Amino acid sequence: MSALIQKHLYVNFQQGVTPTAPILNRCYTVTCCEKTCQIYLSVGREYNIQNVRSMRGMLLARWTCIKNRYVLKCCCPLGGGTRAEIKKGYAKCRCDLPLALGAIVYGDRLLLEANPCLCRAPIYVEFTSPYYGPQRWKTVDNWRID
């Protein structure tokens, strides 16, 4: 794992989750402080919306089950603004996505070690913006941990 992630990652397990359970509806909120390069990962039963408001939100993710298979569903909110701002946000989110996913993998590694099937689970990433039509920025990419 990237030394950057190991050095700058702070992990907070919220009430209702442990480092190894539960899997279903386990929510991740990955945010960062660009001034300090710190990456914050909150793991809980709900998203840590307070962190998203106080810092730049990078990624929201949740373990779910589709057709009897675990799937990590992620959302990169692009926010609003002009088309140029949304386009810039989309490019930044795509660039930051490997770092954000790496933060989840490293920060929640005990869960992944206890459940190796999660390392092979598909990761669906959706980029969303409420502006300029729901389909323009609502795209879904497939990623993998392994």
**Residue 88's domain spans which residues?**
3-144
Give the pairing type, strands 69-77 and 9-13. Answer: unpaired
Show the CA angle centred on residue 25, arms to residues 91 and 108, nearest 5°. Answer: 70
Residues of the chain with pLDDT under 50: none
* Domain count of the fold of the chain: 1
Res 40: pLDDT = 93
Q: Which pTM was predicted? A: 0.87
d(CA 65, CA 104): 18
How many other β-carbons are positioned within 10 Å of the β-carbon of residue 6?
A: 11
**Residue type at 85 in one-letter notation:** E
